[in-house]
Amino acid sequence: MKKYWLKRIFKYGILCVVLVGATIWVYDHGRGAYEAYVDRHENDIEWIEKNIQFVEDYRIGDNVLKVEMPDTLDISHDLYTEIVQKKIDQLLVDNYRISSPLILYNPFLEDETSVNIYFHTGEKYKFEYYVTTSSIATDEDLTYQRMLDSDGNDLSQNKHYYTLTGFVVGKRNNLLIRILDENDNIVQSENFILNIPEA
């Protein structure tokens, strides 16, 4: 009886080793084939454009988009930037409002603590924002970051395209944004929750 069980254990042990070996071989072979496939298309601009996409990432926040592309894709930063900007321009055909802006997490892969935000307003307004990982009872005592032009003056416009920085990775970030008229009266304010992923 003991001999029977030893044979059975030995048989199942060999079967497990074969299955693990086969799984590793299939994984390595599949990954190698995929990497070769990506390598063959690295000079095909049309293929690259098709395989760099913005996808919704609800782990970061509601309606937040981030770039998705093949892990092994090796292209120049200039080409990547050009393709991503083209895709952003395509997204901006829609008319985003301050209450439902287009939010892109680090689209140009330059700062993992940043998001880009895009929205339109009928009139020209100033824009400012505040980022915190603390809960907010009132925003009366908060120091907002105002968007300024190259001369340091308040930037007033109806197409609001900004890169917002200061987010903390691995944390739940409160993003407060607001637009103001020429007399600094608050026209509208919004609050968004963003969970910035760790690298």
Are β-strands 186-195 and 145-146 bridged in parallel, bridged antiparallel, or unpaired?
unpaired
Residues 102 and 23 in one domain: no
SS3 2: helix
Residues 102 and 34 in one domain: no
Residues 147 and 131 in one domain: yes
Residues 116 and 136 in one domain: yes
CB-based contacts of 194, cutoff 8 Å, min separation 6: 60, 61, 64, 103, 105, 115, 167, 172, 173, 175
Question: What Å distances lie between residue 15 and 2, 10, 22, 74, CA to CA?
Answer: 20, 9, 10, 39
pLDDT in tens, 22-66: 666 655 555 554 455 444 545 578 888 999 999 999 999 988 999
Q: What pLDDT tens digit does each residue of the chain (199 aa) get?
A: 556 666 666 676 777 777 776 666 655 555 554 455 444 545 578 888 999 999 999 999 988 999 999 887 888 889 999 999 999 999 999 989 999 999 999 999 999 999 999 999 999 999 999 999 987 755 667 889 999 998 999 999 999 999 999 999 999 999 999 999 999 999 999 999 999 998 6
Instruction: Strands of the chain (E only): list them.
Output: 53-56, 64-68, 102-105, 115-132, 145-146, 156-164, 172-180, 186-195
Residues 30 and 50 in one domain: no
Looking at residue 174, its amino acid is N
Q: Give the chain's domain count.
A: 2
Quote the pTM value: 0.75
Residues 139 and 157 in one domain: yes
Residues 75 and 166 in one domain: yes
Residues 153 and 61 in one domain: yes
Q: Which domain holds residue 21?
A: 1-40
